[in-house]
Structure 1
């Protein structure tokens, strides 16, 4: 007889424990042993016991477990199982689980070292890999939210999602409570706000709360300032539109009398200090109708000059594209009457709100992460090192996205109720934006180079994105180097190749013509692709998510809709401005939703700090430890830099970056 010591850890969520008995088996290279019904697992407990086995099983490969019940199937959330081999110096084997055990089927957990399909010459794990992926293909199916968009997970209701993709109780309670509190405040305050007389933008104070933070209050006080307007393109909630001009934009047609402006722009262009933010994506999008009232959209072009001190100042705003045979649209200037110039800037800010939420946030953050999540679950078994690398960064993404499709961008959802691109226009925007998605735009070193932002010292987004990308890349490279010793090992890993192909050809609906690879040929290419996935799910999403409460709380700085058409003359008045901006109802609703989605999260896992341990080897744990050390160092560097900044840039601080798209 030989003795094995077993430890079993149960999750801490409210329903993690189970009244059902759990039966275990140990599977080693030399045999298999049934251990019988060993426990009824208790929530948050780590239980330990010893078992006698008739003979030594050899190096352990799997633990199998089965939950048995008579009357009630009570799901159990198992964190991990650890087995200490016989003898005083017996090897310890760790079997990560971190999932729900349901029903009466047998769940097989492979030992946590991780193996690629190439690293298994004796085919010890081949059958398990194949069977697991067959089951996953049935459980995780591709869905199509709207024709012409990248794919999502199949399912229309939260109950359609696999149990392991659902919020745990703490997350669900916090999320639902926040929404209920926000809506209650909206209903309570609406009569008071609606009865108030709103004569100028300062009256939006009725729906603004200074408790939303120092920067939100700074926005309220400074939103009219040109330098503050320009700052948002480099370090605001949506730093993804700005690019350096290499030519004057083709859409820029100068009306008569604008020769001086053309000369100024050409001078800045020649000096490399002319930048643009082009909203042409919105041209022709059908605007929403809210409460029987037609709303309006524009497609602005903003031209800005970079000052020697790093400030970015707007030089000109064109609100609409020229139409053939029509008079060129007006170009608004800082020298125009103050209300006219302010109205033009409000139009830009409203359009930035649209593209932020639909292109930068929904598409490039949430929907892209969901493609990675579904492809990973369909193509990579739990034993695969890339699965282990990615899984912590895919947590809760499917549920938060399904909630968004059912409440935010659904028919009669939030966008239809308050946003000028609602009523179907928002879907068209996402479709157009999806057709422009390129691989290089998801890799900051390439994206920032293409947009001419690498040497813009006042772009803290660019600086921090590059540094965070490099830290994540070293982490990914460190892990992959443990499993892929040659480029050939990457090419021969058919699971990895299928995963890459599934993302590009299936999930992204044929994005290979926009640079996304369909195969990974080298270790460097594999490291870049996996880094792209993790950065998108963490840093990139946080860079456009965390700023919402700061920059969108003051409604005139980010109007959710515009109630009058864009001006075609320069005779606007304060009454015109107020009639264009959202009314009290829409402003109140905007504040409610922005608070719910942008508030600091009580249930939040910072980048790299996930408690789950999917790798059991000493070498892989050392790489993760080094990753965490580099993240902590970067966090301190950003904190120190921010102390000297007039406006601290915090959206890529590792301690504030969420570990997955979970909100």
Structure 2
């Protein structure tokens, strides 16, 4: 009798193996085998088996798996990786699984060869495809968390997430997403309830000594310098606000006399030469700041003017802390008194913290990654090449975002307890930011061009982001070009079009002005869109996430809140007023703890471009993955070599330190 020889592999992770009895059935174009019981062999990482058939069942289409426990025994969860089957004719078929099986239902898994919906002609394959998406749309439902924000997955608690998107046991244990854990690891838990003001900068330094990095120590030593203040707009954790300034805003009446005390230059000439840059925090204008420890906090909406010097340094030359100019809203300059200028810069750094965390980080990476992920899981079956390409970029995103909503931005979360932007302000910031997101701003080459930053020197975010974007783009072109031979293949792919449309509707709330595509018509459009998705979920998240502790743990450089209003008259600030403006001790240490946790990768971190789960079986996409990983490795070496010559190494876009997905 004809015989199929098989190997079933269990994932290499804690609790993945099972003592339950597993049965398998093989289905082909010309028939199906009988159920084959695999007994209790799955207590081993790999198990061999044979399936006899009466006659040839044709080309293999799918396998069916079911699991049953012994009498009176509880279900024992199992996490199979893949099944390989060798036909009587000697051909090998692969069936990727990579998901938990926790019940005694029958589960179908397609043969690994990727297939567009228009090319799926076998009736049982079409039925399997339809049933898979029907189940997924029931599992992954859209939900409105807050009006005006991208929609998220509907979920009551972490335990109701489908098992396939849950944290691994390792990640679950390591990542107790609470400020308490961070406080304990930083040895600051004794200060968590202290609502007193800081008595000196030295007192902050004594608390800061735990878990320092080389960069955080550098920031502590240099935070007052204009050079570090300006540098962070390019290569800190929020390089998303700065833009070239060719015309001064009408509400920012800076004069030559204010900024060029010794003459020789004019703002008009320097703007014409591309040497003047603007950071405008109008997103925060008119918002009511939060209360922390029962005390009113203060949140400014500053405008910052920066000048590129002949030595290619980017230095601040003017700061206005409120949007509307007035007598009680002076324009601060470096020539002002030490504490006037330092306080002005601190209010800017605090404003930047709010915009960075809520807009650049949470909204533009976490929430958008969730939109991409939910739409992938609802609209693309496992056999679709886009699912195979993109599912690694969804790993852990749904659970990490649920935790972020519960523990960071909820009524009892960190932002409402310890930041100036908590409460009413937080929702307004997110709504304003979401209404201003454009497709252009998510495509890094377009974004940098639109902000006029193509030629700014020492802009390492731009240099590394451009190279990563291009590497991703070549990879996506190589993979998708194999399946989409011409534009008509894109236009006829109804699953792809539904995926894109749901992103537009549920992520961008059907705003045509966003420029987000509602459908894709060409292979080029598809490649760019998918490049944007992968870049957002991996590189962009790393750029705005990985340096949080480095730049934010020294609180005076990144105050989460400020509890006195800024000076309305120059010459009134001193060391005492600066200390009274800083956040209380508990707000400081909770901020340090959260930034520490959000910058700490887990031990099951998957580096960008690594694909431990094998979804593709064809040679071409597998070759493209190998090339992709190789190109990222070369970029890693190039970045490491460059950083040897830098006073402040820029590592946030080093591929070796990036993760495949928004997983932290």
TM-score range, shorter chain: over 0.9
Is it true that 1:86 corresponds to 2:88 in the alignment?
yes
The question of whether the paired residues in 2 share the 8 Å contact of 1:322 and 1:328 is answered with: no
1:506 CA drift (Å) = 2.5
Question: Using a 3 Å threshold, how does the CA distance of structure 1 residues 602 and 400 change in structure 2: closer, same or farther?
Answer: same
Report how far residue 42 of structure 1 moved: 3.8
**Per-residue Cα deviation, 1:546-598 (whole angstroms, up to 9, x for no partner):** 01011001000000100001221112111111000112221111111111111
Q: Could you tell me how far apart the structure 2 residues matched to 1:105 and 1:646 are?
A: 59
User: Deviation digits for residues 593-614 of structure 1, max 9, x if unmatched?
Assistant: 1111113432311101130011
Q: With structure 2 as the length reference, what TM-score do the two structures score?
A: 0.95
Q: Confirm or deny: 8 A CA contact 2:115 2:385 kept in the other structure.
A: yes
Deviations 1:349-395 (A, max 9, x none): 11111111100110001000000000011111111000111100000
Equivalent residue, structure 2, for 1:621 = 622
Show the counterpart of 1:603. 604
**In the alignment, which residue of structure 2 is the partner of 1:109?**
109
Question: Structure 1 residues 541-550 or 201-210, which shifts more?
Answer: 201-210
Note if 1:120 corresponds to 2:112: no
Q: Distance in 2 between matches of 1:192 and 1:546?
A: 24
SS in 2 for 1:24: strand
Q: Which residue of 1 aligns with 2:22?
A: 22
Cα displacement (A) at 1:13:
2.6
Listed one character per residue, the Cα deviations across residues 463-516 of structure 1 (whole Å, up to 9, x for unaligned) are 100000000111111110110101011001011011100101233211332110
Q: Kindly tell me: are residues 177 and 563 of structure 1, through their superposed partners in 2, closer, same or farther at Cα, counting changes over 3 Å?
A: closer
- How many Å apart are 1:148 and its aligned residue? 1.5
Output aligned runs, 1:234-273, within 5 Å: 234-254=234-254, 258=258, 264-273=266-275
- The answer to whether structure 1 residue 318 and structure 2 residue 316 are counterparts is no
Kindly indicate whether the alpha-carbon contact (under 8 Å) linking 1:190 and 1:585 is maintained by their aligned counterparts in 2.
no
TM-fit CA distance, 1:462: 0.3
Question: Are residues 614 and 139 of structure 1, via their aligned partners in 2, closer, same or farther at CA, if it must alter by over 3 Å?
Answer: same
Distance in 2 of aligned mates of 1:5 and 1:394 = 33
The whole-number CA distance in structure 1 between the counterparts of 2:419 and 2:513 is 33
1:165 deviation in Å?
A: 1.4
Partner of 1:294: 296
Cα drift, residue 120 of structure 1: 2.6
Match of 2:388 in 1: 388
Matches within 5 A, 1:186-335: 189-191=189-191, 198-209=198-209, 211-254=211-254, 258=258, 264-322=266-324, 327=327, 329-335=329-335
Deviates more, 1:559-568 or 1:174-183: 174-183
Change (3 A) 1:512 1:129: farther
Question: Closer, same or farther in 2 for the Cα pair 1:29/1:193, shift >3 Å?
Answer: closer
Q: How far does the alpha carbon of each residue in 1:127-162 deviate from its partner, in whole angstroms, 9 at most, with x for none?
A: 111111111111100011111211000013112211
Following TM superposition, by how much is the alpha carbon of 1:126 offset from its aligned partner in structure 2, in angstroms? 1.6
CA contact 1:253–1:328 (8 Å) conserved in 2: no
Alignment of 1:134-145 (within 5 A): 134-145=134-145
Contact between 1:306 and 1:313, CA under 8 Å: does it hold in 2?
yes
Whether the aligned pair in 2 keeps the contact of 1:397 and 1:661 (CA below 8 Å) is: yes
Larger deviation: 257-266 or 201-210? Answer: 257-266
What is the alpha-carbon distance in structure 1 between the residues aligned to residue 180 and residue 587 of structure 2? Answer: 18
Preserved contact between residue 350 and residue 559 of structure 2 (Cα < 8 Å): yes
Does structure 1 conserve the Cα–Cα contact (< 8 Å) formed by 2:192 and 2:590? no
For residues 192-212 of structure 1, what are the alpha-carbon distances to aligned partners after superposition, in whole Å with 9 as ceiling and x for unaligned?
Answer: 995998443333112213632
Q: Deviations over 1:602-661 (max 9, x none)?
A: 231110113001101112111111111111111111111111111111111110011100
Q: What is the correspondence of 1:504-523 to structure 2 with a 5 Å cutoff?
A: 504-523=504-523
Whether the 8 Å CA contact 1:490–1:521 is kept in 2: the answer is: yes
Aligned to 1:662: 663
The farther-off stretch of 139-148 and 264-273 is 264-273
Determine if contact 2:197/2:584 at 8 Å carries over to the other structure: no
For structure 2, which runs of at least 5 residues remain unmatched after alignment?
A: none
Number of residue equivalences: 659
Q: Distance in 2 between matches of 1:488 and 1:256?
A: 58
| 1:457 shift after superposition | 2.7
CA–CA distance in structure 2, aligned partners of residues 195 and 145 of structure 1: 32
Instruction: List gaps (5 residues or longer) in structure 1.
Output: none
The residue that corresponds to 2:484 in the other structure is: 484
| Structure 1 position 633 matched with structure 2 position 634 | yes
Aligned residue for 2:653?
652
Q: Say whether the 8 Å CA contact 1:112–1:383 is kept in structure 2.
A: yes
Deviations 1:291-320 (A, max 9, x none): 211111000111001123331010100100
**Quick one: structure 1 residues 197 and 435, their matched pair in 2 at CA, closer, same or farther if it must change by over 3 Å?**
closer
Contact 1:79 1:98 in 2 (8 A): yes
Using structure 1 for the length normalisation, give the TM-score: 0.96
Q: Is the 8 A contact 2:259 2:333 kept in 1?
A: no
8 Å Cα contact 2:197-2:582 kept in structure 1: no
Stretch moving more, 255-264 or 363-372: 255-264
The answer for the alignment partner of 1:399 in structure 2 is 399
Checking the alignment, whether the CA contact within 8 Å between 1:78 and 1:99 is kept in structure 2 is: yes
Q: Is the 8 A contact 1:23 1:65 kept in 2?
A: yes
Query: What's the counterpart of residue 582 of structure 1?
Result: 583
- Displacement, 1:418? 0.8
Once the two structures are TM-superposed, the CA of residue 187 in structure 1 deviates from its matched residue by 7.8
